[in-house]
């Protein structure tokens, strides 16, 4: 299997390391920045091309699209037209443009697709999903999810103002960056029907995207969830609370544990993570899952259609913040 990694920034290089560790196949890379191509060739002994057409001429079986959000779809289209199975980093895109065209090509060529959803492979999130499937807290009525970190701390040593997160034209902003929370809340609670959002750029950060968003989601099941997303918290914070008729589940990334309160026992049970857990492991498991999908051993956790639905929710949140109105989500396949 020949794997093409498109976009050789931090996430592209992470996937190269993990694919090599998994023995997934031969790897080539592509990036419009020649210095990135040179760096990857030197560090990972991976042939890297400056032009995508040159890389696709090598006839890769699989393409990983790891470019900035606003430039996901063009290389994905070219790769899909060449018959490549696709892994596309989250979110699927920053707009609806050409997504239906990509979906059609994927269907015509029967391609395997996975949209990056690494938080689904975090042991805390996976444990919460398992508890829900076991109906450990009965019917879930509401949820709260939050994620935030001061943007300049994301990549120390780099100018945060140059990154995609800081630039509207590149598809940045706390809503699209924080799409993980929208994704796993949908994974937990099902289809979203209505979205309302307040979002703005409130801090002194030198960015032209929203640095804070408060999103309300109403689900087909009747459950209501809120998602807080920001670029301003001075220490990394990520957590989720699920409230059901028969108990509560709490997860905190920093505490490295899931807690569950049962109305039956009237006690909290603590379910700690495996000692020494490395956060890169969820990316490894994500790639392992993708490889298994390619081999036909399992179905994608979030294929292109599921990724499209999550993007619709994120875009609805942006529309709601702009208009001050509730936005309805059409749940059509």
| Domain residue extents for the chain | 2-111, 119-276+303-328
Q: For residue 333, is pLDDT > 60?
A: no
Give yes or no for a contact between 85 and 24, defined as CB atoms under 8 angstroms apart: no
Q: What pLDDT is stored for residue 274 in this prediction? A: 85
With 0-12 CB in 10 A as exposed, 13-18 as middle and 19+ as buried, what is 110?
A: exposed
Tokens of 38: 């040179």
What end-to-end distance do the CA atoms of the chain give, in Å?
31
Q: What pLDDT is stored for residue 213 in this prediction? A: 98
Segments of the chain assigned E as strands: 2-6, 26-30, 47-49, 62-65, 85-88, 113-115, 140-148, 192-200, 212-219, 224-230, 237-244, 247-252, 257-262, 267-272, 327-328
Number of H helices, E strands in the chain: 10, 15
The sheet carrying 212-219 orders its strands as 267-272, 257-262, 247-252, 237-244, 140-148, 224-230, 212-219, 192-200, 327-328
Q: What pLDDT is stored for residue 57 in this prediction? A: 98
58-78: pLDDT as tens digits = 999 999 999 999 999 999 999
Residue 12 carries which DSSP code?
H
Residue burial 198-236, b: 16+ Cβ < 10 Å; e: rest: ebebeeebebebbbbbbbbbbbeeebbbbbbbbbebeee
Give yes or no for a contact between 244 and 137, defined as CB atoms under 8 angstroms apart: yes
18-48: pLDDT as tens digits = 999 999 999 999 999 999 999 999 999 999 9
Q: Calculate the average pLDDT of the chain.
A: 96
CATH topology of domain 2-111: Rossmann fold (3.40.50)
Q: What are 140's strand-pairing partners? A: 244
* Residue 181 φ then ψ, to 5°: -65, -40
Contacts 24+ apart (CB under 8 A), 41-44: 43/13, 44/13, 44/16, 44/17, 44/20
The yes/no answer on whether domain 119-276+303-328 falls in CATH 3.30.360.10 is yes
Q: For residue 157, is pLDDT > 90?
A: no
Tokens of 114: 């996975």
Q: For residue 330, is pLDDT > 90?
A: no
Q: What pLDDT is stored for residue 32 in this prediction? A: 97
* pLDDT tier, 272 (very low <50, low <70, confident <90, very high otherwise): very high
Considering only CA atoms, give the Rg of the chain.
20
């Amino acid at each position: 299997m020949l794997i093409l990694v498109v976009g050789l920034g931090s996430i592209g290089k992470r996937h190269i390391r993990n694919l090599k560790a998994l023995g997934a196949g031969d790897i080539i890379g592509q990036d419009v920045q020649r210095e990135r191509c040179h760096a990857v060739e030197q560090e990972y002994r991976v042939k890297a091309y400056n032009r995508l057409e040159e890389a696709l001429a090598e006839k890769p079986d699989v393409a990983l699209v790891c470019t900035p959000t606003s430039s996901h779809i063009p290389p994905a289209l070219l790769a899909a037209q060449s018959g490549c199975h696709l892994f596309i980093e989250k979110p699927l895109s920053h707009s609806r443009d050409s997504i239906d065209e990509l979906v059609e090509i994927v269907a015509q060529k029967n391609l395997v697709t996975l949209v990056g959803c690494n938080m689904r492979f975090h042991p805390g999130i996976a444990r919460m999903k398992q508890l829900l499937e076991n109906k450990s807290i009965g019917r879930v009525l509401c949820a709260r999810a939050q994620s935030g970190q001061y943007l300049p701390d994301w990549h120390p040593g780099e100018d945060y103002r140059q990154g995609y997160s800081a630039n509207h034209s590149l598809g940045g902003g706390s809503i699209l960056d924080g799409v993980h929370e929208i994704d796993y809340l949908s994974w937990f609670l099902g289809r979203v029907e209505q979205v309302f959002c307040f979002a703005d750029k409130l801090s002194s950060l030198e960015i032209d995207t929203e640095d804070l968003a408060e999103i309300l989601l109403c689900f087909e099941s009747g459950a209501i969830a809120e998602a807080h997303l920001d670029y301003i918290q001075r220490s990394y914070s990520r957590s989720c609370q699920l409230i059901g008729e028969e108990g509560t589940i709490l997860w905190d990334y920093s505490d490295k544990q899931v807690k569950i309160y049962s109305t039956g026992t009237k006690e909290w049970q603590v379910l700690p993570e495996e000692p020494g857990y490395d956060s890169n492991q969820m990316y490894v498991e994500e790639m392992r899952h993708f490889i298994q999908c390619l081999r036909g051993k399992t179905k994608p956790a979030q294929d292109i259609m599921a990724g499209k639905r999550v993007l619709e929710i994120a875009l609805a949140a942006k529309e709601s913040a702009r208009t001050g109105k509730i936005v309805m989500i059409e749940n059509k396949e």
